[in-house]
Structure 1
Amino acid sequence: MKSYSTLLLTVLSLAFWGCNTTEKVDLVVYNANVYTVNANFDTQEAFAVKDGKFLAIGSNKEIKEKYSAEKMVDAEGKVVFPGFIDGHAHFVGYAQNLLQADLVGAESFSDMVNRVTTHRSAHPETQWILGRGWDQNDWPNKEFPTKDTLDALFPNTPVFLTRVDGHAALVNQKALDLAGITASTELLGGKVLVANGKATGVLIDNAVTLVEQIIPPLTDAELVEALMQAQKNCHAVGLTSLADAGLDKPVIDLLDSLQQAQLLKMRIYAMVTPSEANMNYYFTHGKYKTDFLNVRSFKVYGDGALGSRGACLLKPYHDDADNTGFLLFKPDVYESLAKQFYTYGFQMNTHCIGDSANRVILDIYGRLLPKENDLRWRIEHAQVVAKEEVGKFKEFNVIPSIQPTHATSDMYWAPDRLGEERIKTAYAYQDLKQSKGLVALGSDFPVEHINPLYGFHSAVARKDAKNWPEGGFQKENALSREDALRGMTIWAAFAQFEEQEKGSIEAGKLADFVILEKNIMEIPEEEIRETPIKATFVQGEQVF
């Protein structure tokens, strides 16, 4: 009898112990307002993370009763979103720019020159003077600058100052001489601006490349240091993943090595530059995929930028009656590239700003892509799209990859470029979303700021940092907050063929998430841009 009682007590004890044990995991987050961004756009209170992936999502009670971890994070009611994804950026370019003169926000040509001279004083040893970010549209005199002042200040040192959009540059005579550029230089898809028979120092689109290609590259050590700082800055604004639009294989290999060494914890969707060497390699070896790197697409430039009047338009610029801009290559070049990418199974992502460029590239896509395809070819920017072209995004199954801050950066001067009627076809994000059913959101940084909340605010409010204009710029094309959040999470992941592994907080997906101090889905529009990031996690590890 005694032994039976002992056995019963043991069984009951084991049963009691079994009912109260919890599964050990790596991380539990609770007391949160979790926007899962799943198919139903559900919200939850808690989740568990194990081996770098979300294991379970549910109520505080459900998760805490079933799971325990050494790292238990009480979110104190804060909002949690999937890690933010920048659908179109230039991460490596941004890193390189951290070593150059910062010309963003320069209020005049004099201000720009002062920034350049200050930078030179701090870095007198460099062979070239480099800077980026100027925009003559923000100056009292909105005409392009000339090189005369730079020639006087730096007669023996080449100067290369890139415009904010990357599609124009101001250089001095020394740089022109080194590149062999004169007033008579002509080339397809670019311009050397000339006044009084002399080159002014302003180069547009393909002319920029003539100088760019002779600038000594950074050493690997310099680039790695810059990339680490760039990553730190990106994590601080909630970015866990991004698409880098236009990279060469050696740089992709460097990124891969840093990721394999667990130094670079930024997921990168690498769009390859379509050089002969790059295409030969990837067409031979195929796509490349890890948890942090995905190489399966090429980035092609269709035209230039609206701000430098290089965007290719169907009709002349409203403020330049003899100019329609230009494609950077002949249409048959794009046709040939498209056929090669299709043959070898790579996604084609084409920069198209002007309505003519959008028409040419969409039609090339349409002639080549089969109906009901899931190839997810993209138009990057889709900035000015004639009304009759919008439906082609749905018809050809093409993804609009858009950057909302472009609308609020350009709205001061874009009507002058396009005129009263055509401006209504520009930055038409709601129209594009209605056509395709989704949009991938990005920033195009360093053209714009790296902070994805700036893009979220621009998408929903259509206002600048000072919340101007009242009522928003062409507010009919604003996105809902829900769609804007999808655009910078699950829809951006879809545009990268990665919606099964990231972009939402669901069991089995990579545990990338961000905790914000305020709920951007509910707070007044004017508070969105300044919402602090409390923490950023990549694969369950806190990186900020």
Structure 2
Amino acid sequence: MKYVKLFIAVTILLIGCSQNESADKIYINAKIWTGDSVNPSATVLAIKDNKIIYVGNEIGTLDTSSAEVIDLQGKMMVPGFMDNHTHFLFGGYGLASVQLKEAKTKQDFINTIKAYCIAHPGDSWIQGGDWDHENWGGELPQKEWIDSVTGDHPLFIQRYDGHMAFANSKALSLAKISGTSSVPSGGIMIKNKQGEPTGVFKDEAMPMISKAIPDPTQTQLDEYLARAGQHAIEHGVTKVVDMSIYGGWPELQTYRKAYAANKLPLRIYSFVPLTKWASLDSFVKKNGKGDDMLHWGGVKGFVDGSLGSTTAWFYQPYLDDPNTSGLNITDTVLLRKWVLAADKAGLQVAVHAIGDRANDFILSVYDEANKVNGSNDRRFRVEHAQHLTQDAIKRFHELNVIASMHPYHLVDDGNWAAKRLDSARLRGTYAFKRMLNEGVMLTFGSDWTVAPINPLYGIYAAVTRRTGNGLNPNGWFADEKISIEQALRAYTMGNAYGSFQEKKLGVLKAGMYADLVVLNEDLFSIKPETIKDVKVLRTVINGKEVFVSR
């Protein structure tokens, strides 16, 4: 990249700027995908303070005596990527914790945990992990595998989908869990033939262990934010929606603290659990909903679990576990009550639904809320919307419900989903194309830490639908592949709409906030299968370069 700082009294006129208006920063010689249907491409973009003042191609007269001109030498510029669903502070924790996603065998799993414990002596809790038992054939881990290598560490590590976790004997002891412990509704504790816990807990059973884990200190949460923020901006993410892990309020407190100290690394929309809607309603009445950098006012609930943990809620049983069709992990009567109440209070409601039955249920609740609570710009969201019938896809459009989807999940799920579901149900899996054809508002994200936060991975997955096992080179259900432009829109303007900021973010045009990303390749000129290898060169938030690749 070539930097050119102009401190001479040359004047350039850029269409859209007044003759007396000066720019702080001008990017030239770029391949700009603006996302603006009126002006879809450009080569020049000018910024004043934190706003874009011009996007176009022509040079004329403008005072640039204090402007920085940056020659992008033909590199691609796009609006800042936004992630519609993260567990942001836990992601910051996970970056420094044990990493098990690449453990391909039982022994890899054990050895990786052993190495981590040797490198981190003591008796602190070990969390994170992101393991996948399907990597070694589907056998669930057992506490006996790792008790001898974890030493004094209590361990409670999650499957990568976050709906199943694994504890060692030290953790079971601290949580006072035995084979006779009662299991909450909506959860499962796996037992061995002797009736003792193996260490595996699913969904609403997971708090049986996690309740024994000390809450992170404020200092630790601050560290998680700094770590997560740097990781995100290095991948071109300029805004995240945080669906929380620590209960919502600790996250929001951490973000407000950072914001007050001018240390918030990127834009954040902070959600709290749906169960706490009344507390959020009171908080909003006293404090408002924040501003364009940090805002709140959304609640997130759950209908079911996940496909990988066999807790996603379907009408029919799983092929490989015919004794279950999944779980509705939240009581449906309570879930309906909370959704209607939160919506009536003016809060945005987002609910996790993966199985076909789960999606149908929450769409019915949203339909009822529309009728009971009256007309409103509510923007209901379904998080994941993963396995749908054609009727459900139509209902998304009819009810104006946002499909908050996570394309990189299919890279993993496609490796083994046929073990769980028949072809008819698989046909409605990650139905991006049909969603768009029906006019559904589609937004994309990662669900980090479930999948990498890198948006280019998500774009790659949506465009190619290649699975991690290499068995679907032309795409898993290839007719659901979408175009690069459609995927970009889901990561930019779609996410802006999903958080009520479409008039300020998601498009590169005059008057919008100057949030943008520069890439080392033109996504439209390379082979789709190489999109995952594209690198971020610059990330700009509010007109400031917060990341520059060296």
TM-score category (smaller protein): over 0.9
Q: CA–CA distance in 1 between the matches of 2:90 and 2:422?
A: 33
The amino acid across from 1:51 in the alignment is D
Taking structure 1 as reference, are residues 17 and 100 closer, same or farther at Cα in structure 2, changes over 3 Å only? closer
Matched position secondary structure for 1:250: helix
The amino acid across from 1:486 in the alignment is R
Cα drift, residue 440 of structure 1: 0.4
Q: Is the 8 A contact 1:79 1:518 kept in 2?
A: yes
| Alignment-derived partner of residue 483 in structure 2 | 480
Instruction: Please say if 1:84 is aligned against 2:87.
Output: no
Q: Is the 8 A contact 1:99 1:226 kept in 2?
A: no
Q: Is the 8 A contact 2:76 2:518 kept in 1?
A: yes
Alignment of 1:24-35 (within 5 A): 24-35=22-33
Alignment of 1:79-478 (within 5 A): 79-139=76-136, 141-154=137-150, 156-184=152-180, 185-196=182-193, 197-246=195-244, 248-276=248-276, 278-279=279-280, 281-282=282-283, 284-285=285-286, 287-370=288-371, 373-464=376-467, 469-478=472-481
Larger helix fraction of residues:
1
Matched position secondary structure for 1:258: helix
TM-score normalised according to structure 2 size: 0.91
The amino acid across from 2:72 in the alignment is A
Cα drift, residue 280 of structure 1: 5.8
Q: CA–CA distance in 2 between the matches of 1:492 and 1:467?
A: 30
Q: Show CA shifts across 1:462-502 (max 9, x none).
A: 11468652211111111111111100000111001011111
Q: CA–CA distance in 1 between the matches of 2:362 and 2:530?
A: 39
Of the structure 1 ranges 470-479 and 215-224, higher mean CA displacement relative to structure 2 is found in 215-224
The amino acid across from 2:454 in the alignment is N
Q: CA–CA distance in 1 between the matches of 2:505 and 2:317?
A: 43
Q: Show CA shifts across 1:159-196 (max 9, x none).
A: 11111111101102222232232223222110001121
Cα drift, residue 452 of structure 1: 0.5
TM-score normalised according to structure 1 size: 0.92
The amino acid across from 1:358 in the alignment is N
Of the structure 1 ranges 301-310 and 264-273, higher mean CA displacement relative to structure 2 is found in 264-273
Matched position secondary structure for 2:206: helix
Cα drift, residue 259 of structure 1: 2.3
Cα drift, residue 132 of structure 1: 1.6
Matched position secondary structure for 1:425: coil
The amino acid across from 2:479 in the alignment is E
Q: Is the 8 A contact 2:12 2:59 kept in 1?
A: no
Matched position secondary structure for 1:114: helix
Q: Is the 8 A contact 2:446 2:453 kept in 1?
A: yes
Q: Is the 8 A contact 1:105 1:133 kept in 2?
A: no
Matched position secondary structure for 2:297: strand
Taking structure 1 as reference, are residues 515 and 283 closer, same or farther at Cα in structure 2, changes over 3 Å only? closer
Matched position secondary structure for 1:125: coil
Instruction: Please say if 1:497 is aligned against 2:500.
Output: yes
The amino acid across from 1:394 in the alignment is H
Instruction: Please say if 1:517 is aligned against 2:513.
Output: no
Q: CA–CA distance in 2 between the matches of 1:457 and 1:194?
A: 40
Of the structure 1 ranges 89-98 and 19-28, higher mean CA displacement relative to structure 2 is found in 19-28
Instruction: Please say if 1:70 is aligned against 2:67.
Output: yes
Identity of aligned residues (%): 31
Q: Is the 8 A contact 1:28 1:69 kept in 2?
A: no
Cα drift, residue 19 of structure 1: 9.4
Q: Is the 8 A contact 2:122 2:152 kept in 1?
A: no
Q: CA–CA distance in 2 between the matches of 1:332 and 1:19?
A: 62
Q: CA RMSD in A?
A: 2.2
Q: CA–CA distance in 2 between the matches of 1:100 and 1:228?
A: 15
Q: CA–CA distance in 2 between the matches of 1:30 and 1:283?
A: 43
Taking structure 1 as reference, are residues 286 and 429 closer, same or farther at Cα in structure 2, changes over 3 Å only? farther
Q: CA–CA distance in 2 between the matches of 1:412 and 1:58?
A: 44
Q: Show CA shifts across 1:345-364 (max 9, x none).
A: 01110000111111111101
Q: CA–CA distance in 1 between the matches of 2:23 and 2:281?
A: 45
Q: CA–CA distance in 1 between the matches of 2:218 and 2:343?
A: 33
| Alignment-derived partner of residue 12 in structure 1 | none
Q: CA–CA distance in 1 between the matches of 2:35 and 2:11?
A: 36
Q: CA–CA distance in 1 between the matches of 2:63 and 2:521?
A: 29
Q: CA–CA distance in 2 between the matches of 1:261 and 1:286?
A: 18
Matched position secondary structure for 1:288: coil
Structure 2: unaligned runs, 5 residues or longer: 1-9
Matched position secondary structure for 2:243: strand
Of the structure 1 ranges 433-442 and 324-333, higher mean CA displacement relative to structure 2 is found in 433-442
Q: Show CA shifts across 1:238-287 (max 9, x none).
A: 11111111352232021122123222221011111234474464364364
Matched position secondary structure for 1:111: helix
Q: CA–CA distance in 2 between the matches of 1:435 and 1:475?
A: 18
Taking structure 1 as reference, are residues 354 and 315 closer, same or farther at Cα in structure 2, changes over 3 Å only? same
Q: Is the 8 A contact 2:117 2:151 kept in 1?
A: no
The amino acid across from 2:432 in the alignment is Y
Q: CA–CA distance in 2 between the matches of 1:372 and 1:434?
A: 25
Taking structure 1 as reference, are residues 86 and 137 closer, same or farther at Cα in structure 2, changes over 3 Å only? same
Q: Is the 8 A contact 1:31 1:60 kept in 2?
A: no
Of the structure 1 ranges 364-373 and 252-261, higher mean CA displacement relative to structure 2 is found in 364-373
Cα drift, residue 219 of structure 1: 2.0
Q: CA–CA distance in 1 between the matches of 2:123 and 2:221?
A: 15
Q: CA–CA distance in 2 between the matches of 1:93 and 1:321?
A: 34
Cα drift, residue 203 of structure 1: 0.2
Q: Is the 8 A contact 1:48 1:67 kept in 2?
A: no
Taking structure 1 as reference, are residues 310 and 58 closer, same or farther at Cα in structure 2, changes over 3 Å only? same
The amino acid across from 1:411 in the alignment is G
The amino acid across from 1:261 in the alignment is A
Taking structure 1 as reference, are residues 199 and 38 closer, same or farther at Cα in structure 2, changes over 3 Å only? same
Q: CA–CA distance in 1 between the matches of 2:39 and 2:457?
A: 22
Q: Is the 8 A contact 1:23 1:67 kept in 2?
A: no
Instruction: Please say if 1:530 is aligned against 2:533.
Output: yes
